[in-house]
């Protein structure tokens, strides 16, 4: 695992994701730092989660810090990496996102440095996301393939 970001060719991080108990509380607490915020229902139906097809209900809150999107995610039901995080008693930094042009190719490339996909969904042929984890590493990576 001696590769570095340059040799992998990773694009810049474009999002930092936090899982929180309440997006309402996150909006109050972090509004002065990352607001104004945009809310949306981030529920996902039929995603592959750890080898099983699962649905999840999520509420999302988006802010910014310069070019970086700041995302707060509240888990409301179902199964996903977010439910796992909250049910383990955790709250806070959860993942870093990279926008990529081919999610599947990046999954293979990041596999060379120990990352494996745990949550995956192809929404359309052009829109695909995946969360990847690495053993003994609490920080997940998200890959998002989506036209700009």
Q: Is 70 exceeded by the pLDDT of residue 6?
A: no
What percentage of the chain reaches a pLDDT higher than 70? 96
Q: Can you tell me the mean pLDDT for 37-43?
A: 98
- Calculate the average pLDDT of the chain: 95
Q: Is 90 exceeded by the pLDDT of residue 71?
A: yes
CA–CA distances in Å: residue 121 to residues 13, 33, 40, 134: 20, 31, 18, 19
Q: Can you tell me the mean pLDDT for 55-77?
A: 98
Q: Is 80 exceeded by the pLDDT of residue 2?
A: no
Of 2-16, 62-76, 126-140, least confident by mean pLDDT is: 2-16
Closest CA to 80 of 30, 5, 16, 17: 17
Whose tokens are 């995946």? That residue is: 130
Q: Which two tokens stand for residue 116?
A: 């494996």
> For 11, which DSSP code?
P
CA-CA distance, 67 to 101, in Å (whole number)? 19
Residue 3: pLDDT band by 50, 70, 90 thresholds? Answer: low
CATH class of residue range 5-145: alpha beta
């Amino acid at each position: 695992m001696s590769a570095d970001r340059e040799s992998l060719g990773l694009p810049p991080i474009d999002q930092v994701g936090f899982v929180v108990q309440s997006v309402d509380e996150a909006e109050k607490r972090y509004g002065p730092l990352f607001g104004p915020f945009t809310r949306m229902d981030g529920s996902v139906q039929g995603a592959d989660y750890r080898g099983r097809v699962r649905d999840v209900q999520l509420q999302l809150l988006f802010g910014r810090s310069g070019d970086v999107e700041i995302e707060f995610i509240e888990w409301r039901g179902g199964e996903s990496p977010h439910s796992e995080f909250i049910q383990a008693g955790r709250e806070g930094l959860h993942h870093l996102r990279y926008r990529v042009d081919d999610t599947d190719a990046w999954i293979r490339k990041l596999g060379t440095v120990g990352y494996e996909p745990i949550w995956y969904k192809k929404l359309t042929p052009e829109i695909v996301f995946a969360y990847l984890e690495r053993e003994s590493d609490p920080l997940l990576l998200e890959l998002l393939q989506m036209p700009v």
